[in-house]
Structure 1
Amino acid sequence: MEEALTRPSNRILPSLGIVLVAGGFIVLSWLGYLWLGPTQSPYQYKLVEEGGVDKFNKLGLNAWSDLSISKHEIVVEGVDQPLAVGYLARRANARPVMLDWENRSGEPVVFVDGKLSELTTLASAIAKHVPKNATILAWWDTSRQIKLLTGYETVFVSHLGEPHIVPSVWRNKSAAIEKYEREFWGGPASAEESQKFKRFTDALVAEPKEGAAILRELTGGREAYVAVHLSDLYKLGLMRPDRLGAAYKDFPLQGGNVHGLSGLIKRWSLENNHAAYSVHGLSENLVRAYFLTDDKSGNTLLTKMLPFTTSNPLEFQELKLVYQYGGYWVYKIPSA
């Protein structure tokens, strides 16, 4: 389902409702939502299982044997199946970090779907090739993951919770959701860190030269790198719809027919008058295509850093591309 990222000021994701697929049948259930009062969060993080990395072998975290892992489901009262499943990690008594997230409702809820194998490969590459005294800039959730897995200094260390990704039917519960999220993840970030993150989004939606200058400002002239992911386009579009017009649609990859899928995505883009697109494989059977809905959105720092049909990261001059894997693109921020 395509989600046009034109957002109301309260930053609640538009939706026609959450559709759960179970046993081949589509199940719609909002009884739990209807029973809740306005001060209650419509969902909860339910702890399912916890232990060391050896208990969760499929996650591929053997290189980080000191981590504690917990599996959580996001559940709604009255709905039989979880809306999403996530794996949190922490070291000792530190606050938990979301490492892997799988949405099961047909659209992103709370977090965007990730590929943990891409993240661990990125972390290993940073640890191997980036100087230990360097600073890393990335979206706040990616920053926390990188810091946990590499120990490197990141500009953002807190769970900032922006943007709020929930269905529109929960719009009147935004205050309750924000309160629940703060309590679960360990309190709000400092005003200084929140302001720096706003400045980071300013950089990403700015024209490339101006945006690169803001990144240098945020890192204080130190040796620094910025890591972006294709899904950042979705999140940035939710936060800054006035500066970035974006949309996405998931396409099934049937029988590995890449050429047929490419034609289908191109045709969809033309039929919807989109200006450009890029793709990211969510799994062996599913590809997510991200679209720019107007020409001006193609001249932002973020879109120039990503491989859209109207951009080429290898030729980007304002930052220096140093690494790419999966949906991640890493650039060195040059000194002024």
Structure 2
Amino acid sequence: MLGWFAFLWFSPGPAPYHYRLVEEGGIDKFSKLGLDAWPDLGISKQEIIVDGVDEPVAVGYLARRGNTKPVMLAWENYTGEPVVFVNNKLSELTLLAPAIAKHVPKDAVILAWWDTSRQIQLLTGLETVFTSHLSGPLVAPSLWRPRIEAIDKYEREFWGSTASAEEKGKFQRFAVALSSEPTEGAAILRELTGGREAYVVVHVSDLYKLGLMSPDRIGVAYKDFPLKGGDVHGLSAMVKRWLLDNNYTSQTVHGLSEENARAYFLTDDKSKDTLLAQMLPMTTSVPLDFKAVKLVHKEGGYWVYKIPSAQPSNT
């Protein structure tokens, strides 16, 4: 892939990629996705094509109900650096959604990163604070930075994004909450949900996205490691060595597939004390004992918390 990175570095212009429809149909045509519980969804498979590259650099599965705008449900990146979306496990999402639908009251509201929010709304019908495809922060290789405005324009046009200034402002505020110390962050979450019964869903990959969006507030790095036949102990040793060699302060690991896992690292002491870092299974956090928000469910890389109506002491 080095060739296309170099080519794009010296070629500012339009978005360096485009979506290419491969096939579309009902869930029966995409039985491997495991969407039997949502028979009314329409699915389309899209490849991400970069000019001058023979093979797609990623593939995504989009879902929609009727004439609604599409939602990215599953994404698989074939390059060594995240492109457009961060890899996710649809199998985790399809287990999470029924649990949320069963246990979250119908009149409650849910906070989550905008892409997770749209997935939850599609699969549960519950109300989420964020409903639009907000695009940001743009997940792109560093050498695509000269084309970031073109990428943003292309993404908004492809997804038909019509987010209001108010929704964008609330999402910025959500990022501030996640990157604040826990007491302050939880107070902002309550502010965003207007005092209603509310829940917040986070995923370990939100660390990477928050680090892109607010690098001055939280320092995040990542590295992919081979699982080598499911050798968890060997993986743990490699991750710990990488943490020590780079003077990182905390880490967590999430499996991408049977062959690979991604480790997320916090790069300084301030970052490990943020709300998001304390909500996730870092080596410097204890989610079960966390009091700023209350853990109510976990599914793979997803962690679901209830937002207290008043701020308890986090001691």
- Please, what TM-score do these two structures have when normalized by structure 2? 0.96
Query: Secondary structure of the equivalent of 2:292?
Result: coil
Matched, 1:152 2:126: yes
Query: Distance in 1 between the 2:274 and 2:10 partners?
Result: 44
Q: State the match for 2:43 in structure 1.
A: 69
Residue correspondences, number:
310
Deviations 1:97-125 (A, max 9, x none): 00000000111100000000001111010
Q: State the match for 2:55 in structure 1.
A: 81
Q: State the match for 1:335 in structure 2.
A: 309
Alignment identity in percent? 69
Greater shift, 166-175 or 293-302, is seen at 166-175
Query: Structure 1 residue 35: deviation in Å?
Result: 9.5
Do 1:143 and 1:157's aligned partners in 2 also have CA atoms closer than 8 Å? yes
Q: State the match for 1:168 in structure 2.
A: 142
Q: State the match for 1:220 in structure 2.
A: 194
Query: Structure 1 residue 29: deviation in Å?
Result: 3.5
Query: Distance in 2 between the 1:187 and 1:307 partners?
Result: 33
Deviations 1:119-161 (A, max 9, x none): 1111010011111111000000000000000000000000001
Answer 1 or 2: higher relative contact order, Cα 8 Å, separation at least 6.
1
Q: State the match for 1:243 in structure 2.
A: 217
Query: Distance in 1 between the 2:8 and 2:79 partners?
Result: 15
Query: Structure 1 residue 267: deviation in Å?
Result: 1.2
Do 1:31 and 1:77's aligned partners in 2 also have CA atoms closer than 8 Å? no
Query: Secondary structure of the equivalent of 1:261?
Result: helix
Deviations 1:145-178 (A, max 9, x none): 0000000000000000111111222222122111
Query: Structure 1 residue 33: deviation in Å?
Result: 4.0
Counterpart amino acid of 2:106? K
Query: Distance in 2 between the 1:165 and 1:333 partners?
Result: 28
Counterpart amino acid of 1:113? N
Query: Distance in 2 between the 1:229 and 1:114 partners?
Result: 10
Once superposed, which parts of structure 1, at least 4 consecutive aligned residues long, lie more than 2 Å away? 28-37
Counterpart amino acid of 1:232? D
Query: Structure 1 residue 83: deviation in Å?
Result: 0.9
Do 1:32 and 1:77's aligned partners in 2 also have CA atoms closer than 8 Å? no
Query: Structure 1 residue 75: deviation in Å?
Result: 0.3
Greater shift, 142-151 or 185-194, is seen at 185-194
User: Unpaired runs of 5+ in structure 2?
Assistant: 311-315
Query: Distance in 2 between the 1:226 and 1:208 partners?
Result: 13
Q: State the match for 2:4 in structure 1.
A: 29
Query: Secondary structure of the equivalent of 1:118?
Result: helix
Counterpart amino acid of 1:163? P
Query: Secondary structure of the equivalent of 1:251?
Result: strand
Q: Over the residues paired in the alignment, what is the CA RMSD in angstroms?
A: 1.4
Q: Specify whether residues 291 and 35 from structure 1 end up closer, same or farther in structure 2 by C-alpha distance, changes over 3 A only.
A: closer
Q: State the match for 2:106 in structure 1.
A: 132
- Please, what TM-score do these two structures have when normalized by structure 1? 0.90
Do 1:276 and 1:309's aligned partners in 2 also have CA atoms closer than 8 Å? yes
Query: Distance in 1 between the 2:231 and 2:259 partners?
Result: 10
Do 2:9 and 2:144's aligned partners in 1 also have CA atoms closer than 8 Å? no
Greater shift, 171-180 or 151-160, is seen at 171-180
Do 1:36 and 1:42's aligned partners in 2 also have CA atoms closer than 8 Å? no
Matched, 1:230 2:204: yes
Q: State the match for 2:313 in structure 1.
A: none
Q: Specify whether residues 223 and 98 from structure 1 end up closer, same or farther in structure 2 by C-alpha distance, changes over 3 A only.
A: same
